[in-house]
Amino acid sequence: MTTLNTLLLFLLLLTSQQCKKDGAMLNAASVNSAELKQTHLPLNAGVENTGIMELQFNVNPEKKSVILNQIEISFSDDSRFSGVESISAKYSGAINIPETSVLFGTTKNTGQKTKISGTCELGAGIHFLKFDIGMNVNPDLLTRFQVEKVKLSFKNHDVIEVAPAGKFIFRPKLVLRTAGQDKTDTYRIPGLVTTSKGTLIAVYDNRYNNSKDLQEDIDIGMSRSTDGGQTWQPMKVIMDMGEYSGRSQRLNGIGDPCVLYDHKTKTIWVAALWMSGSAPDKMLWWASKPGMKPEETGQFILTKSTDDGLTWSQPINITSQIKNPEWQLLLQGPGSGITMTDGTLVFPAQFKADMGIKALDGGQYTCHSTIVYSKDQGNTWQIGTGAKSNTTEAQVVELADGSLMLNMRDDRNRTDKGETNGRAVAVTTDLGKTWTVHKSSNSALQEPNCMASIISVNLEINGKMQQVLFFSNPDSKTERSHMTIKASLDGGLTWPKTYQVELNSEAGYGYSCMSMVDDKTIGILYEGVKELYFQKIPVSDLLGNLVKN
């Protein structure tokens, strides 16, 4: 141990002894410059989530020590603590050494005003208090609390109150799939739907060897929940191309799932991209060529379940119905599709074609977001035209007037600073034969160039039924961080700041997919790094008093 580290440890040990003293000081000190910082992270189940808040304050050197004997945390009225096991406060020293901090106190009596008692004598200088939250092993996923202020009470000084700089609702996350689980290196590309029975169906890539996109050994995994996402049944592989034509598993990957639910026939459909035979060191995005055969080009594959996700059909190849042989590649979403009011099934899709336009990498191709649809409950399928060049991963919703809105990742829309100007948005009234640029396109929804999610739901707003759009993505122009859900009450024209909730500030792979768990709760499945997280968010967290709780 270095001399400096020894000195720091000695100072901390000295402080820890002071924190155990119980004698009052006669001369009051001046406590000032208080600041309360909080992380913007979801809480992990079954562990103590350390350092979710930090309170920094200064004791005036012109005065003597103060003795801190109680901390009171005030939470918002609508906070719910059913999943919280404990709240602890730790003193990390005037020199802030978190890993060797001293416990001030712990309480399991959590509520709107949570009190933590202890004794800590604090001399002149800057001091740091850290707050930890212990969560139950299986916490109620609707647990949520928002810190309004923290009050420090002293034996020999006036009470100090400090509020956090910004608001954040702490809530638990469920790690639906963990890196390495079931011999799978990486879980990616989430899709999520809710059936008429209230069952949640989650789909995703099982990337067995690494995080790499196709061409690789990838299957489509599925998880099923019958209790609103609180617990999930064991993962089931629902799409696996095996060793087609004598080729190895590694050359028969299928991935990038997109799921939709037909509420008229009670059928769950999953679309995925399969390609057989490409060299393992090639990326399918580049290796796929014009043509129709699996050896030449990616294949548009479906599977379906008619028993609420318990069993699934053999793969259904619809490539010949919808792909132009001149295109290099055609694939789905990914994410989720929809069933329109009239029963039309719609998958968002994308195709890559040689259009004589120089692409971002210098190649002579362009890609277009579009839709693939069926008007006969999935017996036959058709495809629309491209909505905008150099758009790829898209999601689709039906607007209140019956038109379809396509919300698209825009690979062309990047500035000289490496930022993007937002999601591209287009609307069609004829199932993708023609498209009109939406007024919000490339302006209303910022993105770091990533997949996103958008869903539509009818809610009672101020006593009247109205369509509301919910959108989720990493809310950044430069990196896949700050996973956020936003709401629009005007058909996607605007997404006010007051109707937004940040879930997780950490950077991850960034893909997400939402579905309504029930008429009051949004479920979201999104990517961390090699993992998939599930969270539940009350609609009222976004829309406040506009909706009934």
Dump pLDDT digits (tens) for 413-472: 666 566 667 999 999 999 999 999 999 999 999 999 999 999 999 999 988 999 999 999
CA distance 158 to 22: 18
Cα Rg of the chain, angstroms:
27
DSSP codes, 253-268: -EEEEEEEEETTTTEE
244-302 residue pLDDT tens: 766 777 778 999 999 999 999 999 999 999 987 666 667 778 888 999 998 889 999 99
CA distance 424 to 99: 46
432-445 residue pLDDT tens: 999 999 999 999 99
- Lowest pLDDT segment from 71-80, 211-220, 535-544: 211-220
Output 59 or 509, whichever has higher pLDDT: 509
- Give residue for tokens 């059936």: 195
Q: How confident is the model at residue 4 (pLDDT cuts 50, 70, 90)?
A: very low
Distances, alpha carbon 79 to alpha carbons 74, 76, 197, 320, in Å: 10, 6, 29, 54
- Predicted pLDDT at 1: 45
- Predicted pLDDT at 285: 80
89-139 residue pLDDT tens: 999 876 655 556 899 999 999 999 999 999 999 888 889 999 999 999 999
Beta bridge partners of 382: 373
CA distance 393 to 22: 62
The amino acid that residue 300 corresponds to is F
The amino acid that residue 268 corresponds to is I
- Predicted pLDDT at 59: 87
319-368 residue pLDDT tens: 999 999 999 999 999 999 999 999 999 999 999 997 654 544 455 568 99
Q: How confident is the model at residue 2 (pLDDT cuts 50, 70, 90)?
A: very low
Spacing of C-alpha 106 from chain mean position: 31
- Predicted pLDDT at 251: 76
Asked if residues 134 and 47 have their Cβ atoms less than 8 Å apart, the reply is yes
Give yes or no for residue 203 having a pLDDT over 50.
Answer: yes
CA distance 6 to 1: 6
Give yes or no for residue 15 having a pLDDT over 50.
Answer: no
Whole-structure pTM value: 0.92
CA distance 417 to 221: 38
- Predicted pLDDT at 105: 97
> Could you give all domains of the chain from N- to C-terminal order, each with its CATH number?
3-170 (2.60.40.1290)
DSSP codes, 99-134: GG-EEEEEES--SSEEEEEEEEEE-SEEEEEEEEEE
Asked if residues 514 and 523 have their Cβ atoms less than 8 Å apart, the reply is yes
Give yes or no for residue 17 having a pLDDT over 50.
Answer: no
Query: Choosing from 121, 393, 527, 531, which is the catalytic residue?
Result: 393
143-197 residue pLDDT tens: 999 999 999 999 988 899 999 988 999 999 999 999 999 999 999 999 999 999 9
Give yes or no for residue 210 having a pLDDT over 70.
Answer: yes
Tell me how long the chain is: 549
CA distance 488 to 469: 5
Q: Is 393 a catalytic residue?
A: yes
Average pLDDT taken over every residue of the chain: 90
- Predicted pLDDT at 33: 80
Distances, alpha carbon 78 to alpha carbons 75, 87, 147, in Å: 8, 18, 11
- Give residue for tokens 């693939």: 372
The two tokens of residue 107 are 């309480």
Asked if residues 547 and 539 have their Cβ atoms less than 8 Å apart, the reply is yes
Output 352 or 31, whichever has higher pLDDT: 352
Q: How is residue 137 annotated by DSSP?
A: S
b (16+ CB within 10 A) / e for 110-139: beeebbbebbbbbbbeebbbbbbbbbeeeb
- Predicted pLDDT at 93: 74
